[in-house]
Amino acid sequence: KVEDSAPDMATKVRQRLRSIMDYAAEQGLIPINPIPAARRGKRSAQRTHLAAVTDHAGVGAILRAADVAEISRGVRRAHLLAVFTAQRIGEIVGARWDEFDLQAGAWSIPRERMKRKDAQRGPHVVPLPPQLLTLLREWHRADGDGAIYAAPAPHGDGPITREAIEKFYRRTLELTGKHSPHSWRSVFSTWGRDAGKDADAVEAQLDEVERRTTELG
């Protein structure tokens, strides 16, 4: 059930259970770890076909529902960062204010926080559209200069968790099996292609290929 409704959470649960069983086996409490390791090929195939709402009417409905939902400021901000930038949710929830240049309108994500961690690629620089830039400036003013994370948790000094934003999509928006925070990458790619944008520029924005001099325009 967890794999069907929340594949990312299922991965975390499997990892935690395997760690517990590994410890038990090391201590001689059980003969072997009974939980099989995840097969890379199967996981890749699942991620390749993640559901996404890409039609204009459907996207509009999701945005309107999210706009009126009662959620924490951290979850709302993470949702809007996903919508406007199409970055991976793991990179979004950990976004720090010192990564944003609110004058130049750019978000520079350190390579160590990216899925692709090869240092030669350098930081992933994401241009911020005007509407999002306006919101970011408002959020930063509201948080104050001492704030660290752009999507703060309701309690404590850290950021919201990945599960918090994913749960918002599953439960509040009721989008299980239809659309997830990660799905905005598919929306961005689909709409970019439909608008005739350079394919390499679209993929570069998603950090899937080396960034070239081509701009999205």
DSSP letters spanning 144-166: -TT--BSSB-SSSSSBPPHHHHH
Model pTM score: 0.75
What string of pLDDT tens digits covers the 217 residues of the chain? 666 666 667 777 888 888 898 888 777 888 888 887 766 544 444 444 578 999 999 999 999 999 999 999 999 999 999 999 999 999 999 999 999 999 999 999 999 999 888 878 889 999 999 999 999 999 999 999 999 999 999 988 899 999 999 999 999 999 999 999 999 999 999 999 999 999 888 998 899 865 444 445 4
Torsion over CA of 144, 145, 151 and 157, rounded to 10 degrees?
Answer: -90
